[in-house]
Amino acid sequence: MDIEHVLENGNCHQCGVCVGVCPTNAIELRQDPNKGLFPTFLRESCTDCDLCHIACPGEEFDWDALQKDTFGEIPIDKDIGYVREFWSGYTKWTDIRRTAASGGIVSAILIAMLEKGEIDGAVVVKMDEDKPLQPKVYIARTREEVLAAQQSKYLPVPTGEILKPILKEEGRFAIVGLPCHIHGIRLAQQKMPRLKKRIVLLVGLICGFHPSFTNTTYLIRRAGVKNFDDIAEIRYRDETWPGGFNVIKKDGSNNILHPVQEFFWAHAVFERVRCATCTDAMAEFADIVCGDEWRGGGVPDRPDYKDGWSYIMTRTEAGTKVVDQMVNEGVLHVEPAARNQVKRGMLPTINLKKKLAFAYINIRKMLGLAVPNYHRLRPAKPLKLKNYLGAAIIMVVSTLFENKLINTLFLHVPTRFMSQYLRVMYKCLCDVEEIDSLTDFSYCETPEMESVIQDNHRLIASYANGDASQETVAGVTGDVEETVS
């Protein structure tokens, strides 16, 4: 049984897992000029093994069943899932931190594990040197190969295709991916024991709007580059945090949209259908989760915030062990973060997936269009009219902007006008009461809370030097959460 219908009905994540698990090479990736890399099915090579259908997270994904299989329970917190530890931090390797998207946590973890022999390879993605507009998924085995993949990539990436060489090669691997990639890999691991044995760490990246390939070509033209043959490299998060979209031409010139406000709005304009129906922002099935440390008031209130900070969440014993080890060995600097701090900082992103996604699904149902089957998964809170309004706007605008004439007409519209679209989305995503209910301890005014924070800073410093136990740190982190909540 092939899954070509998943592609036809708009449920394809473009995650590449079907390509990675197919034993007969009956599925290939081909470039669509507008939407990026899509799977293509070769019926004559298919043996109806059904592995592609079993591992596909696009059409059907039993959320609760996989939560039980992964963590042994269904988490109470429906916004961010099952979490063991919350941290904020960055890598102490300064050269890596300053060239990363937000603190260099992921790169540092992978390099440290490779150099200690704890993994044989790390699955990462970079932009292809020969085809600079296309992503290239590969297994990094050296420090240099990991660093070549630094910074975010905002286009469809078929990370799951890498399962094919992992199935053929003995070894231990870490994989960095978005929530959809992690979903497909977890499903494949249930059916294929080799993958469960060989993939020892899944690092998930926080994901909000994830645009189509057209977003990249649109931003290239908006940056003033007309001839795509002149492009040598694309960097989506270049320069200091939070970065800018940079098109580097073969003559060495930079064509940059900076700061981030100059281009982030476009992600919402070019939202893909299956991303709009995805309900996972926080990589809820990963071992470790990382993402920019946005705070409730915007950027982090830190003197070195431009060097990059990340939220770090561990969800499994394997993930917790890795982060604790990296702190103890001086690879990472971390400070305790409260659950509500993370939720407040990431609230628009969380609500995009926990509110607007469900509204988008309901609208598609009313229109008689296909939607993913999440089984028993439902919104944690009743949806509001403005959630449906936001979903409807995304549906209409993203459809219009895939039209070349439409996006050409808007090519030179000032950013201050286009950014209003993102502000409208935020209003459809968040309530003032909801924001106020999440007390962020970085804004605390009580002496009791300040005392807890100072104690934790001292504790983390002593833990990094090997003077405090993991149990002590975990206990105090729990105290922080209780105080903040």
Q: What is the pLDDT of residues 73-86, one digit of tens each?
A: 999 999 999 999 99
Q: What is the pLDDT of residues 217-227, one digit of tens each?
A: 999 999 999 99
pLDDT of residue 430: 85
User: Which backbone phi and psi does 443 adopt, to 5 degrees?
Assistant: -110, 15
- Cα separation, 260 vs 416, whole angstroms: 13
CA separation (Å) from 232 to 132, 247, 253?
6, 8, 10
Burial class (CB in 10 A: 0-12, 13-18, 19+), 229: exposed
pLDDT of residue 204: 98
Mean of per-residue pLDDT scores for the chain: 88
Q: What is the pLDDT of residues 232-262, one digit of tens each?
A: 999 999 988 888 999 999 999 999 998 877 8
Strands, E, within 211-331: which ranges? 231-238, 244-249, 254-257, 288-292, 310-314
Which single residue is written with the structure tokens 């439409």? 406
DSSP 158-175: -GGGGHHHHHHS-S-EEE
Q: Residue 390 pLDDT more than 60?
A: yes
- Cα separation, 87 vs 480, whole angstroms: 11
Q: What is the largest CA-CA distance in the chain?
A: 71
Checking DSSP bridges between strand 288-292 and strand 199-205, what pairing results, if any? parallel
Residues 441-446, mean pLDDT to the nearest whole number: 37
Per-residue confidence band for 397, with pLDDT thresholds at 50, 70 and 90: very high
- Cα separation, 307 vs 423, whole angstroms: 26
**Residue ranges covered by each domain of the chain:** 444-484
What is the Rg, in whole angstroms, of the alpha carbon atoms belonging to the chain?
A: 22
Q: Amino acid letter at 277? A: T
Residues 43-54, mean pLDDT to the nearest whole number: 92
Per-residue confidence band for 459, with pLDDT thresholds at 50, 70 and 90: very low
pLDDT of residue 171: 97
Residues 368-389, mean pLDDT to the nearest whole number: 95
Angle of helix 470-484 relative to helix 447-464, nearest 10 degrees, comes to 160
User: Six-digit token pair at 474?
Assistant: 């975990």
The answer, as to whether pTM is greater than 0.75, is yes
User: Which backbone phi and psi does 283 adopt, to 5 degrees?
Assistant: 45, 60
